[in-house]
Amino acid sequence: MVSFMKYLFVFTLLSFAQITFSDNAKSFIWEQSTAAIEEVDSSKLDLLDQIAFDDKSTQALIITKNGKIVHERYADGYDRKSPGTSWSVAKSFYAALVGISLENGEIESLDDPVAKYLPQFNDDRNSITLRNILNMRSGLEFPEDEHERMFFYRDQLEYALDVPVQNKPGVIWEYNNVNSMLLGEILEAATGEAADVLLRDRILQPLGITDSTLWRDNSGNVMSYCCIDLTARDFTKFGLLYANNGVWNKEQIVPKSFIDETFTTVSEFQSPRKGGYSLHWWVASDDEQDQIFYASGKFGQYIFVDRENSLVVTKITKYEPTGGSVQDFGQFGWLTEIENFYILLSVLAFLDSANLMKFGEGFVTTPNTRENGTQTSFQSDFQKFIDVIKELH
């Protein structure tokens, strides 16, 4: 009897240790399901697949229902381990950190003035708030090139901090990359940690994402407006986090109140695309029938979230990593000296097409979407794609 009790005690202890280890590792196993089991119209899944892959730039399409994969496809030469790059989808990731900092008391309110965190804004920009930044209503100068020139600068934070105010904050919606570049510095000022460190510790690690590239510029500043490399499945995890009201493995990662506020339309418009915008997320539909919000990136990166129907749809385009995580144009740093941005882009395209610009560590390292990863037909089929998502459930 004593031997049996001793065995039972040891067995129980080992079982507990195994359960504890699994929980600490935040293990996550993807579940596969079918359209029939999840009560999804399979013909609509096929139509979404057709729209996505009719555009030859598409690398991956993943559709989940109730947290389970009901459709997953990759272009030839790619698989579930192939990374994609976020471009502006990164904005939604870094915005989530603001919600966490609000919950932690590191940021008091979205209505805090930016100057509270960035002393450089103690000038005629001192009425700009965090909410203005997140809603793209800062009123900061918005030139014809939309500050895309910033991407080529060695010190992109210095560039962003120098942008003057142009309009009254809170009035005009303008999709300004500078707002999101400043967000990284605001987060560091509030928490004492760099924004990419926060992202790894507070979001990626809890989601079980261990393989990522979070880009910094050549001066060591986090490129919080554009640049995260993840697999399509890992991008989908972020969508699932929002679809599940910020909960992952029974742990509240992002406050539900912040997600509720995010998924409340602030700006509505017909252009650049029909829909709206709120706290660094786009709005595809927000009415009594459907509420679909999405993270969006240049060249065709999307994470669509329908919380009500527990749907997440992720589409990314083809990407060829250059290695490294620090942007460095090396001997081509002179590109920023070209004053006309469109001439700069033309020169860059020529250098690339003529194979004069070599990519990889020791040469040029940067997020880089080439012609084969630039969306074409999907852009014109975007609203059709949204309409099909609405018909899935």
Reported as a single tens digit per residue, the pLDDT across 303-334 is 999 999 999 999 999 999 999 999 999 999 89
Structure tokens at 93: 């990731």
pLDDT exceeds cutoff 90 at 87: yes
Q: How confident is the model at residue 181 (pLDDT cuts 50, 70, 90)?
A: very high
Per-residue model confidence (pLDDT) at position 26? 52
What is the Cα–Cα distance from 223 to 215, expressed in whole angstroms? Answer: 6
Q: Tokens 């669509």 correspond to what residue?
A: 304
Q: How confident is the model at residue 20 (pLDDT cuts 50, 70, 90)?
A: very low
CA atoms within 13 A on the CB side of 263: 24
Per-residue model confidence (pLDDT) at position 339? 85
Q: How confident is the model at residue 393 (pLDDT cuts 50, 70, 90)?
A: confident
The phi and psi torsions of 282 (rounded to 5 degrees) equal -90, 155
Mean pLDDT of 33-45: 97
β-bridge mates for residue 346, sequence order: none
pLDDT exceeds cutoff 70 at 25: no
Domains and CATH numbers, the chain: 42-328+365-369+377-390 (3.40.710.10), 329-364 (no CATH)
**For the purposes of burial, counting CB atoms within 10 Å of the CB of 15, is it exposed (0-12), middle (13-18) or buried (19 or more)?**
exposed
Per-residue model confidence (pLDDT) at position 269? 84
Closest CA to 368 of 328, 319, 323: 319
Better pLDDT: 360 or 185? 185
pLDDT exceeds cutoff 50 at 176: yes
What is the Cα–Cα distance from 375 to 388, expressed in whole angstroms? Answer: 19
SS3 sequence of 363-375:
CEECCCCCHHHCC
β-bridge mates for residue 282, sequence order: 277, 294
Reported as a single tens digit per residue, the pLDDT across 105-134 is 999 999 999 999 999 999 999 999 999 999
| The dihedral formed by the CA atoms of 237, 243, 249 and 252, expressed in degrees to the nearest 10 | 120
Structure tokens at 3: 């031997």
pLDDT exceeds cutoff 90 at 16: no
Per-residue model confidence (pLDDT) at position 273? 75
What is the Cα–Cα distance from 60 to 202, expressed in whole angstroms? Answer: 26
pLDDT exceeds cutoff 90 at 378: yes
Say if CB 271 and CB 126 are below 8 A apart.
no
Structure tokens at 382: 């975007």
pTM score of the predicted model: 0.92
Q: Tokens 């579940």 correspond to what residue?
A: 31
What is the Cα–Cα distance from 95 to 279, expressed in whole angstroms? Answer: 7
Q: Which residues contact 237 (CB under 8 A, 6 or more apart)?
A: 28, 207, 208, 209
β-bridge mates for residue 201, sequence order: none
Q: How confident is the model at residue 353 (pLDDT cuts 50, 70, 90)?
A: confident
Reported as a single tens digit per residue, the pLDDT across 229-264 is 999 999 999 999 999 999 999 999 999 999 999 999
What is the Cα–Cα distance from 283 to 307, expressed in whole angstroms? Answer: 13
What is the Cα–Cα distance from 310 to 308, expressed in whole angstroms? Answer: 6
Local structure of 285: helix, strand or coil: strand
CA-derived radius of gyration, the chain: 22
Using a pLDDT cut of 70, give the percent of the chain over it. 93
Candidate from 9-18, 271-280, 293-302, 332-341 with smallest mean pLDDT:
9-18
